[in-house]
Structure 1
């Protein structure tokens, strides 16, 4: 699945992260082009995401949905992947400096450790 995740992230698309909110799921979106994928971990620049940060303190399990219409999927053009992982918002790791150098507006980085992933489309 690693190669497919890398392939999707080479194309622009919405990158969505869902966490368990207080009363309802909480979701944030960014763009594939903002995301760094290495060593089976995902790093996302964080500008706001204050409610997401609070949600992750209670339960850091997340669902990530990525996709692009530019790649062949299971039944034609369009590939999507669902990722289950654990997320942490940090500003004291090396990847934060990498993100900050590309996006000066980033106050932190969301590190997502991938636990499982599978193709949905």
Structure 2
């Protein structure tokens, strides 16, 4: 089960940045999205719409480990307002099925969905 504070960050109406780190043959690669684009499934997987993310998809084909940085200035952290998480897990790219169809309804221009299975989520702030 995902941490309640992480779920609060993901569901907060004020967008916070989500950074996705993958590793490929040419080293690390970063891309960004917004917390409002991330959908949490009943199985606690994270779904992220993919409009481009071509290099991310290529990296996942050879190494499916992923690290995300998810943060919000609006959610109370350890000492003050603002918190962030480092989330580690595995990712796969889906181009059909229920998760893809749900995301396609909300984000019509996508070609795929990044599906992250979370292994750990550590609060940093």
TM-score band, normalised by the shorter chain?
Answer: over 0.9
- Counterpart pick for 1:44 among 39, 45, 48: 48
Contact 1:2–1:40 (Cα < 8 Å) also in 2: no
**Mapping for residues 85-100 of structure 1, pairs under 5 Å:** 85-100=89-104
What residue in structure 1 maps to residue 108 of structure 2? Answer: 104
Runs of 5+ unmatched residues, structure 1: none
Q: 1: CA distance between counterparts of 2:26 and 2:124?
A: 27
Query: Aligned pair 1:79/2:115, yes or no?
Result: no
Distance 1:15 1:71 in 2: 15
Aligned residue pair count: 121
Q: Deviations over 1:83-116 (max 9, x none)?
A: 0000011112211101100111111100000011
Pairwise CA RMSD? 1.0
Counterpart for residue 59 of structure 2: 55
In 1, distance between residues paired with 2:90 and 2:45? 10
When the two structures are superposed, what TM-score results if normalisation uses the length of structure 2?
0.92
CA distance in 2, matches of 1:5, 1:111: 17
Residue of structure 2 in register with 1:17 after alignment: 20
Residue in 1 aligned with 2:120? 116
For 2:98 and 2:19, locate their aligned partners in 1 and report how far apart those are by CA, in whole Å. 23
Deviation at 1:31, TM superposition (A): 0.7
**Taking structure 1 as the reference length, what is the TM-score of the superposition?**
0.95
Distance 1:24 1:88 in 2: 19
